[in-house]
Amino acid sequence: MKICIIGAGYVGLVSSACFADFGWTVACVDKDAERVGRLKRGEVPIYEPSLDELLMRNVAAGRLSFWMSLPEAVSGAEVVFLAVGTPMRRGDGYADLSYVFAAVEEMTPYIDDAIY
């Protein structure tokens, strides 16, 4: 199974590594060029026990890859997880879902109709 995870922050990165370690193929995509570059070089931008080992093992096994290109990362994915930020809105404290809505809009044209 191919999984695409949009967002390589804490939630997206840890989830990507764990899903890949279960044996699934995972494409993790992020808009931050510096973050994606660091991950491709094996540099883990956050601390989570054993995360660096999980990432290295699964990248080496070809189960985990990092992308900036949403069309390539989503292509052929059977499942897409959104792991984008939902910061607190000023004034009312509710979650700002604008990043979630933007990610859905961006990925929709690239989802393969055959997976439904």
Q: Please state the rounded mean pLDDT for residues 9-34.
A: 97
Q: Please state the rounded mean pLDDT for residues 20-43.
A: 96
Query: Residues 9, 83: contact at Cβ < 8 Å?
Result: yes
Query: Is residue 61 left, alpha or beta, with left meaning phi > 0 and alpha meaning psi from -120 to 50?
Result: alpha
Q: Tell me, what's the pLDDT at 115?
A: 52
Rounded Cα distance between 79 and 5, Å, is 8
Q: Please state the rounded mean pLDDT for residues 14-34.
A: 97
Q: Please state the rounded mean pLDDT for residues 86-109.
A: 92
Q: Can you tell me whether residue 19 is helix, strand or coil?
A: helix
Q: What is the CA radius of gyration of the chain?
A: 14
Q: Which tokens in the block code for residue 80?
A: 């897409």
Note the pTM of the prediction, 2 decimals.
0.89
- Where exactly are the structural domains of the chain? 2-115
CATH class of 2-115: alpha beta
